[in-house]
Amino acid sequence: MIFMKRLLPLLALLVLGLASCNSLKLMVDNDYSYATDFTTYKNYNFLACEVDTSFICTEIQDAIRRQMRARGYKLTDDAPGLLVSYSIIRDRVEYKGYFQPSLDRWVNKYEFDDTYKTQNFNFGGGMILVSLLDAESSQLIWRGYASGVFNKKVKKPINYYRNVVRTIFDQYPLFAAGEQPRKLTGI
């Protein structure tokens, strides 16, 4: 009996440990425009979403809205500074990207080599791309992505796509013009 009492918690830990091995390791990265002053944007709106019958589109748009609000950006129909677009890609993706310093290093003008160095990417398991465009010029200024999103081997927990979008926006550490990071209080 004592043996079973000790074995049961160890067995539970083993099951939890194995379950965590099933978690998806996403490849997450971003590209941005060196020519953009990211400190001037205050508000945004969405471009139209692709037709989606699985409700993923709505969940992703809601998750993006949460991330933009957390950074102080206001959703507006009246002259937005940013346009947000996103794509749901279910197939293998190959494209050319760039080695760049982190976005916060660029905005804060730390020393670095400001030449674009290209790299080729080849991703399987599908991808979600989130793009920010300057509304006035329609120029792409930032793109974040997560690949491996639709890997069939991994179970999708509740809020899976919200967590994927949050992980993508972890690559965008900036806040709307005039906004500061919020400090947690009362914890």
> Does a structural domain hold residue 178?
no
How many folded domains does the chain comprise? 1
- State the Cα–Cα distance between residues 23 and 134, nearest whole angstrom: 35
In the three-class reduction of DSSP (H, G, I as helix; E, B as strand; rest coil), residue 14 is classed as: helix
Parallel/antiparallel/unpaired status of strands 82-89 and 127-134 = antiparallel
In a domain, 85, yes or no: yes
CB 128, CB 104: distance < 8 Å: no
Expressed as residue numbers, the domain containing 69 is 24-169
In a domain, 111, yes or no: yes
Does the predicted TM-score (pTM) go above 0.95? no
Give the 3-state secondary structure of residue 33: coil
User: Which residue type does 7 have?
Assistant: L
- Residue by residue, pLDDT tens for the chain (187 residues) are 554 455 545 444 444 444 444 455 788 888 888 888 999 999 999 997 666 656 788 899 999 999 999 999 999 999 999 999 998 888 776 666 666 655 555 556 556 555 666 766 656 788 899 999 999 999 999 999 998 888 877 678 889 999 999 999 999 988 898 887 765 455 4
Q: What is the pLDDT of residue 133?
A: 97
Q: Is there a domain that residue 177 lies in?
A: no
Nearest Cα residue to 36 out of 117, 124, 161, 137: 137
Q: Residue 42 belongs to a domain with what CATH number?
A: 3.30.160.670
3 is a domain residue: no
In this prediction, residue 138 carries a pLDDT of 94
What pLDDT was estimated at residue 94?
67
Domain assignment present for 60: yes
Side chain identity at residue 83, one-letter code: L
> Is 144 within a domain?
yes
Q: Is residue 143 part of a domain?
A: yes
pLDDT value, residue 125: 80
Give the chain's length: 187
